[in-house]
Structure 1
Amino acid sequence: MLDFALLKTTGTLTPRLGRLSLAGRRSVLTPGFIGSTSRGVVPHISQDNFQKSLGLDGVYVALEDFIEKHPQKTPPIFHLDAPASIRKFTSLPEDTLLVLGARRNPPIPSPTANTNTEISLLTSVGYRSLSCEYYAAAARKLQPDIVVGLADIPLGQEVVGAKRKDKMSDRTETWTRDIIAKQKSLGEGEHRFNIFAPILPIERDLQSWYLEHLVDDMVSKISGVAIYDAYLLDDLPEELHHLPRLSFHAPASPHELLRHISLGMDLFTIPFISSATDAGIALDFVFPPPQKPNGGSRQTLGIDMWHTEQALSVTPLGENCTCYACTKHHRAYIQHLLSAKEMLGWVLIQIHNHAVLSTFFTSVRASIEAGTFDADAAAFEAFYEPQLPEKTGQGPRVRGYQFGSEEHAKAEKKNPKAFRKLDEEIPLKVAHGQQPNKKPAMKDVIDDEALVGLVGMEDANGAMQMEDLKLEDDRTAEVKA
């Protein structure tokens, strides 16, 4: 089972050092981060480059990336009859920690509300519902190392009423009990996954009933907690302080990341790494920062590789970076790749950006060990701009789920045309989105072996009838006239 050792801590809302260990997997030093994936792989990174150039100790995988055929058909990931099938399906190395959750981080709001038994999510072909029973059965089949419990969190609502918050607490408590019961029912010799219980992003008194049950009845059966609001860590019961904390509060910048670390967060998923890569921005910051020159302005957190000044630069992306991209290539070559829409451009930037964050966390841990973290964090905030640079160039081709639901109603295509006439201009900015799936949702019919639909299910739409279809060209129409 998962073991978490606290190596250094000085209080409740203070930075702390830890080590997360699991037999057969790399140990993860905390504070640290795990890779965010799309359909099981880190964007732009093939699995051979994952092993050779990225060096990540763990990844977070979202189930909603794989169940676009549910419930009409069995999703392909469940057809693989092999131990730890999700690891085999994604070709993830055996020593890499695998964390499974229901939704991507950050999740995209769904127009369909959650119910007492289901959450609404967005697959690559439209909106679907995921029941707590289906999720538990999927965890049993896929055999990840860690399963993040379902949380009832309404998305896209600026104000959530007190009654809705009570419902959030009740549902999450029920769903956490369900996943624990599924884990307990595993037979001898079956893979036992570890459970991280969600802590809701609402005030402690509004989820007190759930937290009391978590502490009294379930604390010995969970291996960690999933935090959705880092600024509510003060409300975490003392009985849960010894557990590792996995953050789903997506930081917008390294500055916010440091604030979360200062509150005692352990493990992070960091969406802004891939967002910066997609925008053609090579991250460029170190911790602690260099000595700031007198009267100097704040430095940017990244280099926009679309700027024309990079076209003649033969310097690496990072001055002292030792990643593959920086040791083998220079900025002019990488900008050429981006301009030519060559995928290798984004691959090299993604490798570099992950290397920057890995070095960042190594230095953060050294700073906490030395007792200088607060001073170093203050110097970092004074030295660097508070936000990442704005996107100026055109990113790689995108999927519809990579954009908010408010974009779906727009008529424009997600991506520009791949081919065009010589006299046709391509607009630099295009709208992104897709129409929501308007087909009526079907309920799950599941038991442990029907699992995730591993029984025959008829196509709900039926076959189209073509017998009466007749085609007429223009000449036939003229003869009839």
Structure 2
Amino acid sequence: MLRLIRDVGVDMFDVAWAMNAANLGVALDFVFPVPASNAGDARQSLGHNLYDPIYKHQFGCIADTFVGAGEGADEGAMGRQVCPCIACSPRAPSSPILHSTVDMQSDATSMTGGEATTRYEKPYSRAYIHHLLHTHEMSAHTLLMAHNVAVVSAFLAGVRRVWAETKDEDRSARFAVEVERFSDTYEESGGLFIAAKKDWEYVDKARGKGRLAREREKQEDNQDE
């Protein structure tokens, strides 16, 4: 997308690829422009294949470059933005569902006329979504789609911010520099999505066997190899 913006001037994109990534169990994890804190020798992946067993016991937020609104971090803290998606920033109901006047009488907010406040819960973890994926829970893909769309939205907001903060005569040059920094920071080979598709196919074909049985079979196959 960045090269299409830089070289051709394309200014409209869909997010079909991000939704397809969610179907394969990939949580996107990148930002533009790349913060100085992200600089390093090794290239970073554009996301995480949450089918991978390495995430089985990882209980942190699903993206390294974002934080959840419920984690007590303001936007920009430690170089990370707040991801507003339902996976990273799930919101607790601001008030109970009131089915009748009896419910209204028992609800303190409705009786006092006070305003309900928004309360954010902790983010859903990589381990939790890994579990949902391996047990064929559709909510896993719902959470990942919401997250991936939010990441792409933040990415494009970053593109607009770079253009807005730069003088007209310097705009193209500054944008080109940021595009190169992004290319130097993130791995673009496609290996992430190839591995995710392979893992997705394995779990999908094993539907009905049960997760423990599948994992035992996979371990036995690996030992035989």
Question: Which residue in the other structure is 1:45 paired with?
Answer: none
By how many angstroms is 1:387 displaced?
3.2
By how many angstroms is 1:351 displaced?
0.6
CA RMSD of aligned residues (A): 2.9
Change (3 A) 1:306 1:425: closer
Question: Which residue in the other structure is 1:393 paired with?
Answer: 199
Matches for 1:302-451 after TM superposition, within 5 Å = 302-318=47-63, 319-320=66-67, 321-328=83-90, 329-370=124-165, 371=171, 372-388=174-190, 389=192, 390=194, 391=196, 392-394=198-200, 416=205, 418-419=207-208
Asked if structure 1 preserves the Cα contact closer than 8 Å seen for 2:40 and 2:185, the reply is no
Asked if structure 2 preserves the Cα contact closer than 8 Å seen for 1:280 and 1:395, the reply is no
Which protein, 1 or 2, shows the higher relative CO under an 8 Å CA cutoff with sep ≥ 6?
Answer: 2
By how many angstroms is 1:395 displaced?
5.4
Asked if structure 1 preserves the Cα contact closer than 8 Å seen for 2:39 and 2:185, the reply is no
Q: Does 1:291 align with 2:36?
A: yes
The gaps in structure 1 that reach 5 residues or longer are: 1-256, 398-414, 429-481
Question: Which residue in the other structure is 2:46 paired with?
Answer: 301
Asked if structure 1 preserves the Cα contact closer than 8 Å seen for 2:25 and 2:50, the reply is yes
By how many angstroms is 1:425 displaced?
7.6
Residue type of the partner of 2:161? Answer: A
By how many angstroms is 1:265 displaced?
0.8
By how many angstroms is 1:357 displaced?
0.2
Change (3 A) 1:395 1:273: farther
By how many angstroms is 1:416 displaced?
3.1
Q: SS of 2:84's equivalent?
A: coil
By how many angstroms is 1:365 displaced?
0.7
Larger radius of gyration between Structure 1 and Structure 2: 1
CA displacement 1:172-213 (0-9 Å, x = unmatched): xxxxxxxxxxxxxxxxxxxxxxxxxxxxxxxxxxxxxxxxxx
Residue type of the partner of 2:86? Answer: Y
Residue type of the partner of 1:375? Answer: V
Asked if structure 2 preserves the Cα contact closer than 8 Å seen for 1:283 and 1:353, the reply is yes
Q: Partners in 1 of 2:44 and 2:147 — Cα distance?
A: 19
Which structure dedicates a bigger proportion of its chain to helix?
A: 2
CA displacement 1:33-59 (0-9 Å, x = unmatched): xxxxxxxxxxxxxxxxxxxxxxxxxxx
Q: Partners in 1 of 2:140 and 2:85 — Cα distance?
A: 15
Question: Which residue in the other structure is 1:76 paired with?
Answer: none
Residue type of the partner of 1:313? Answer: Q
Asked if structure 2 preserves the Cα contact closer than 8 Å seen for 1:280 and 1:349, the reply is yes
Q: SS of 1:385's equivalent?
A: coil
Residue type of the partner of 1:258? Answer: L
Change (3 A) 1:344 1:396: farther
Q: Partners in 1 of 2:33 and 2:56 — Cα distance?
A: 30
Q: Partners in 2 of 1:298 and 1:418 — Cα distance?
A: 35
TM-score using structure 2 length: 0.60
Q: Partners in 1 of 2:201 and 2:87 — Cα distance?
A: 19
Change (3 A) 1:280 1:417: closer
Q: SS of 1:336's equivalent?
A: helix
Matches for 1:222-261 after TM superposition, within 5 Å = 257-261=1-5
Which structure dedicates a bigger proportion of its chain to strand?
A: 1
Residue type of the partner of 1:327? Answer: S
Counting matched residue pairs gives: 153
Q: Partners in 2 of 1:359 and 1:316 — Cα distance?
A: 17
Change (3 A) 1:358 1:293: closer
By how many angstroms is 1:293 displaced?
6.7
The gaps in structure 2 that reach 5 residues or longer are: 68-82, 91-123, 166-170, 219-225
Residue type of the partner of 1:355? Answer: A
Change (3 A) 1:315 1:420: closer
Question: Which residue in the other structure is 1:273 paired with?
Answer: 18
Q: Partners in 2 of 1:335 and 1:386 — Cα distance?
A: 23
Q: Partners in 2 of 1:341 and 1:281 — Cα distance?
A: 15
By how many angstroms is 1:271 displaced?
2.9
By how many angstroms is 1:338 displaced?
0.6
Matches for 1:170-249 after TM superposition, within 5 Å = none
Q: SS of 1:266's equivalent?
A: coil
Q: SS of 1:303's equivalent?
A: strand
CA displacement 1:68-122 (0-9 Å, x = unmatched): xxxxxxxxxxxxxxxxxxxxxxxxxxxxxxxxxxxxxxxxxxxxxxxxxxxxxxx
Change (3 A) 1:345 1:395: farther
Q: SS of 1:373's equivalent?
A: helix
